[in-house]
Chains A and B, each alone.
Chain A
Amino acid sequence: MRVALAEDSGIFRQALETLLTTVGIEVVASAATGDELFTRVAVDPPDVAIVDLHMPPTHTNEGVVLARRLQVRDPRIGVLVLSAFNETPQALELFRDRPRGVGYLLKDHVTDVEVLRSALERVRRGEVVIDPDVVSRLVEARHHRRELARLSERERDVLGLMAEGHSNAGIGRRLHLSARTVEDHVRAIFTKLRITASGGPDGPQDTNKRVLAVLTWLRAAETR
Chain B
Amino acid sequence: MERVISVISVPARRRTPPWFGREARRALAAGLAVAALALGAGWPYWRGHPAAAAVTLGCCAGIAAQGVLLATGGRTRRTGLLFLAASVCWAVNWLASWDAYAGPILSPYAQAGFFLALGVGVLMYPDGRLEYTADRIWTVLAVLILMGGPTALWVTSEPEWAAFHGSTVWWPAPFPDAGAFETALRASAALYVFLALSFAAVLLLRLPRMGRFKRLLTLPVTAALAFVGLSAALTQRPVMEPSIALADLLHVYAVQGAVATLIPCTLLASGLRLRIAELTVAGRMLRLTAPVTVERVRAALRDVLRDPTLELWFWAPAERAYVDASGRPADLTGSGAARVAGSGASRLAGSGRAEPGDRWRRTVRADDGGPLAVVEFGGALRDHASLVEAALAAGGRALETARLQAAVHANLERVRAAYGRLVRAEAAERERLARDLHDGAQQRLLALGAMLGTLEAVTTDPAVKRHTAGCRRELMTALAELRALAREVRPALLVQDGLGPALEVAAERIGVRVVLDVPTGRLPPDRESALYGLLCETLSYAVERAGATRVTVCVRPSGPRLVAEVGLDGEIPVGPAADLAGRVGALRGHLEIDGGPGTGTTVRMVLPCE
Contact = CB atoms under 8 A, between A and B. Distances in A.
Contact of B505 (A9, A88, A142, A143): A88
Contact of B479 (A16, A60, A108): A108
B126 to A, nearest CB: 77
A61 interface: yes
Given A22-B457, A116-B453, A143-B513, A11 B496 contact: no
B476 A16 contact: no
Interface string B480-505: 10010011000011011100010011
Interface residues of B, number: 42
A19 B456 CA distance: 10
Given A89-B501, A223-B515, A108 B450 contact: no
A80 B446 CA distance: 17
Interface in A78-115: 84-90, 107-108, 110-113
A15 B451 contact: yes
A222 B505 CA distance: 10
Contact of B450 (A19, A60, A142): A19
Contacts of A84: 438, 442, 446, 483
Interface string B443-461: 1101111111110111000
B504 A19 contact: no
Contact of B493 (A16, A23, A89, A137): A89
Interface in B401-455: 435, 438-439, 442-444, 446-454
A87 B492 CA distance: 9
Contacts of A12: 443, 446-447, 450
Contacts of B508: 137, 141, 222
A59 B451 CA distance: 25
B157 to A, nearest CB: 117
Contacts of B504: 88-89, 222
Contacts of A9: 439, 443, 446-447
Interface string B200-239: 0000000000000000000000000000000000000000
B444 A85 contact: no
B513 A89 contact: no
B546 interface: no
Contact of B496 (A60, A143, A224): A60
Contacts of A141: 508, 511
B443 A11 contact: yes
B498 to A, nearest CB: 10
Contact of A22 (B443, B458, B480): B458
B447 A14 contact: yes
Nearest to A16: B450
Interface in A115-147: 116, 137, 141-143
B496 A23 contact: no
Interface in A124-179: 137, 141-143
Contact of A18 (B435, B450, B501): B450
Contacts of A108: 446, 449, 476, 479-480
A15 B450 contact: yes
B106 interface: no
Contacts of B438: 54, 84
Contacts of B457: 19, 22-23, 113
B447 A15 contact: yes
B454 A22 contact: yes
Contact of A222 (B450, B493, B507): B507
A88 B504 CA distance: 10
Nearest to B511: A142
A114 to B, nearest CB: 9
Nearest to B456: A113
Nearest to B469: A112
Contacts of B486: 85
Contact of A19 (B443, B454, B475, B480): B454
Interface in B505-520: 505, 507-508, 511-516
Contacts of A15: 446-451, 454
Contacts of B443: 9, 11-12
Contacts of A113: 453, 456-457
A86 B493 CA distance: 11
Nearest to B517: A223
A19 B453 CA distance: 6
A79 to B, nearest CB: 19
Contact of A85 (B435, B448, B476, B483): B483
B275 interface: no
A85 B435 CA distance: 13
Contacts of B439: 9
Nearest to A138: B508
Nearest to B439: A9
B472 interface: yes
Contacts of A22: 454, 457-458
A54 B492 CA distance: 10
Contacts of B495: 60
A107 B446 contact: yes
Nearest to A60: B496
Contacts of A223: 514-516
A108 B435 CA distance: 18
A61 B458 CA distance: 34
Contacts of A137: 508
Contacts of B501: 89
Nearest to A92: B501
B513 A222 contact: yes
A110 B513 CA distance: 32
B492 A110 contact: no
A121 B145 CA distance: 130
A111 B505 contact: no
A18 B443 CA distance: 15
10 contacts: A12-B450, A84-B442, A85-B487, A110-B446, A110-B450, A111-B450, A116-B453, A142-B513, A222-B504, A222-B508
Interface of B: 435, 438-439, 442-444, 446-454, 456-458, 472, 475-476, 479-480, 483, 486-487, 492-493, 495-497, 501, 504-505, 507-508, 511-516
Given A15-B448, A23-B454, A111-B475, 19 more contacts: A9-B439, A9-B443, A11-B443, A12-B450, A15-B447, A18-B450, A54-B492, A59-B435, A84-B483, A87-B505, A88-B505, A90-B496, A108-B476, A108-B480, A111-B453, A112-B472, A116-B453, A222-B508, A223-B515
Which 8 A-B pairs rank lowest in CB-CB distance, beginning with the nearest?
A: A111-B449, A15-B450, A15-B447, A143-B513, A9-B443, A60-B496, A11-B447, A89-B501
